[in-house]
Structure 1
């Protein structure tokens, strides 16, 4: 229930900024690590994914993508997620999540969500997602602006690890 409420609040707070940004920008959103999000003292690991989901929703809204998705009957589906923890986020801390499209190809788009608290990088969540229209995969280039000149090497290792699992 907390995730649904956080998504609703994110949606309402993002509405004034709808369509004011490009998808090749890094967008920031802040969250408060409440006692409901923490274990004994630190943010629970599943909450990083909830915050990343909200940050992705905020990103899609503020870049004006939600309207395009709805008009064209598109949805987005996460294929996999990867978290790298570096420092704990303490209860009651303000967490700034910096979101950007790291790269995209003809099928997939990779989002990066960096979690910062008290000026330090605490975690990075990578999300591999695709746009769907029914069963058809829609090329991300039809919706997103250029994400960089070359594919980051870190994505090659991640994709190789995913291939080993199948």
Structure 2
């Protein structure tokens, strides 16, 4: 099933969902459809990143992040994504995407999208993103302040800090080429 149909389905169900605090976890329920599968008849690894977009949009809408973005005339942009797949999802299986804000720094926000089936983690997608306006990147502190969150980010795990630094190094190398 195309991402647009999933986004539409999520939006149609959205009015019944309550707003959440910026550090809460949001949950979107889904099902595996034929177009999600690869030749091995399970969800293709690239599809997890696409499905995480739906979870992220649900979080952005329910946490009020979208209101802050509208005030700054900013759009969300994904900088880097990392995924770990532990178990397979097969045709017509139901699953949930649990999305949460993990941390932030001077430039990026870090989100986790945990794919869960029957209480077990199937896979995890970590996203490093930002909001961009015509004037450039909008500092995460604007969002944090307007979402009534503490200015100090939750502690980033060492692996997340290392991953972010390696992404910065790769970005610098690409700019030099």
Aligned positions, number: 165
SS in 1 for 2:124: strand
Which residues in structure 2 correspond to 1:47-58 (within 5 Å)?
A: 47-58=47-58
Contact 1:103 1:152 in 2 (8 A): no
Runs of 4+ in structure 1 deviating by more than 6 angstroms, as ranges, are none
What's 1:66 paired with?
66
Alignment RMSD (CA, Å): 1.9
1:149 paired with 2:154, answer yes
* Change in CA separation of 1:148 and 1:68 when aligned onto 2, cut-off 3 Å: closer
Instruction: Provide the rounded CA distance (Å) in 2 between the counterparts of 1:163 and 1:25.
Output: 28
Comparing both structures, which one devotes a greater share of its residues to helix?
A: 2
Give the drift of 1:88. Answer: 0.9
Give the drift of 1:141. Answer: 2.2
Give the drift of 1:148. Answer: 4.9
Which of 1 and 2 has greater Rg?
2
SS in 2 for 1:154: helix
Unmatched runs of 5 consecutive residues or more in structure 1: none
Q: Which moved more, 1:109-118 or 1:130-139?
A: 130-139
1:159 paired with 2:158, answer no
What's 2:136 paired with?
136
Contact 1:105 1:139 in 2 (8 A): no
What's 1:32 paired with?
31
Unmatched runs of 5 consecutive residues or more in structure 2: none
Q: Using structure 1 for the length normalisation, give the TM-score.
A: 0.89
Which residues in structure 2 correspond to 1:82-161 (within 5 Å)?
A: 82-144=82-144, 145-146=149-150, 148-161=153-166
Q: Using structure 2 for the length normalisation, give the TM-score.
A: 0.84
